[in-house]
Amino acid sequence: MDSEDKRILSLLQTEFPVVARPFDALAARHGRGPCRGRKRLGTEPAALVARVRHLAETGFIRRIGPVFDSRRLGYTSTLAAARVPAERLAEVAERVSRLPGVTHNYERRGDYNLWFTLTARSEKEIARTLDALGEETGIVFHSLPALAVYKIRAVFGADEATSGGPPRKESSPAELDDKQKQLVRALQDGVAIEAEPFVSVAERVGRPVEEVLAQIRAWMEGGVIRRFGAVLAHRRVGYRANGMAVFRLPADRVDEAGRMLAKRPEITHCYCRPPLSDFPYTLYAMIHGQSEEAVRALADRLAQEISSADYALLFSTTEFKKSPMRYFEPEDRP
């Protein structure tokens, strides 16, 4: 991956235009003419498509598409944690990964060694799912839902400006009709890397392209879609270490500390979660870096900045599952 690839990946994460011919727009916006502070791609649209397709085929790009806000679609989610005997970890993780509502499933170093996200239509459904898993495996699964969200922005790249972003705005679920749900299903796996990627989406839902584009833009404006762009394989682009830093803080200091951590570009996710009796941490931050040493050094500095003497850093060691959530599937009922 050369410097031009890095520039392209940086831009695609946050500047993918929701227009009929997005690569034409990108090439024109960042082409060889005056760019007024923007980085130039210096390539023609067809060459840009070919280069982006190559980045996807070689594993740098997982997909290009929307990152939906689950709550705005009427879903709820949680982070689940469990202590699993080492000799059973692969077996239990495989069972967890089979659940359609599990999008991320990792082994992390620590007493709590299995961590996964679970999304469902209600908190009751989440509780039922975890109870059933517990009965089947004999493992206790703890639900740690987000009590406050300070940052969700998994953006990676050399361009520091792409790593920030506004805090998430909480709002009530959007009311979607059947056509809109159909469009969500058509978009959730991403769009094709081609000159007119929204044409096939429009054909799948039987609607004009401009209508599809207008709906996507409206969802972005209303927060149903947090961003539309490339989702990268962070290890492939150089972020080989990621650690979940957890901090123990008094309740009246968590919000201030969370807002401080959210400003750091190395942090992609930051939440307040409930403590467990044997895991008393309430502030969670995902830190990405090029090495474990770099992540540890940053976690140490952050702990000092927010005055948290009691904290832990859980590195992910095995990725059992990482996939986009599939919404409004036939078996998915409220």
285 bridge partner residues: 245, 270
Would you give the distance in Å from CA 232 to the centre of its chain?
10
Give the mean pLDDT of 218-241: 84
Residues 6+ apart with CB under 8 A from 170: 71, 149
Give the mean pLDDT of 246-262: 96
Which has the higher per-residue pLDDT, 237 or 114? 114
142 among known catalytic residues: no
Specify the amino acid at residue 202.
A
Distance, in Å, from the CA atom of 276 to the CA atom of 282, rounded to the nearest integer, reads 9
Residues, the chain:
334
Question: Is residue 289's pLDDT more than 60?
Answer: yes
Q: What is the pLDDT of residue 160?
A: 40
Give the mean pLDDT of 87-102: 97
Q: How confident is the model at residue 30 (pLDDT cuts 50, 70, 90)?
A: low
Question: Of 21-25, 32-36, 215-219, which range is least confident?
Answer: 32-36
Question: Is residue 231's pLDDT more than 70?
Answer: yes
Single out the catalytic residue among 104, 142, 234, 288.
104
Q: How confident is the model at residue 153 (pLDDT cuts 50, 70, 90)?
A: confident
Q: What is the pLDDT of residue 49?
A: 95
Question: Is residue 155's pLDDT more than 70?
Answer: no
Tens digit of each residue's pLDDT (9 = 90 or more) over 319-333: 999 988 999 987 655
Distance, in Å, from the CA atom of 264 to the CA atom of 250, rounded to the nearest integer, reads 22
Q: What is the pLDDT of residue 233?
A: 77
DSSP 179-240: HHHHHHHHHTT---SSSSTHHHHHHHHTS-HHHHHHHHHHHHHHTSEEEEEEEE-TTTTT--
Q: What is the pLDDT of residue 156?
A: 52
Count CB atoms within 10 A of the CB of residue 85: 11
120 bridge partner residues: 76
Return the H-helix or E-strand segment holding 317.
Answer: strand 311-322
Give the mean pLDDT of 31-42: 48
Helices marked H in the chain — which ranges? 3-14, 22-29, 45-57, 89-97, 123-137, 178-187, 198-205, 209-222, 254-262, 292-305
Give the mean pLDDT of 27-53: 70
Question: Closest Cα partner for 258 from 175, 167, 133?
Answer: 167
Specify the amino acid at residue 30.
H
Q: What is the pLDDT of residue 39?
A: 47
Which burial class, exposed, middle or buried, applies to 124 when counting CB atoms under 10 A from its CB (0-12, 13-18, 19+)? Answer: exposed
Give the mean pLDDT of 78-96: 98
Q: What is the pLDDT of residue 138?
A: 98
DSSP 8-state secondary structure symbol assigned to residue 279: B
DSSP-based three-state secondary structure for 92: helix
Question: Is residue 99's pLDDT more than 50?
Answer: yes
Per-residue CA distances from 187 to 127, 219, 271 (Å): 28, 12, 27
Mean pLDDT over each residue of the chain, to the nearest integer: 88
Question: Is residue 35's pLDDT more than 70?
Answer: no
Q: What is the pLDDT of residue 36?
A: 43
Q: What is the pLDDT of residue 42?
A: 58
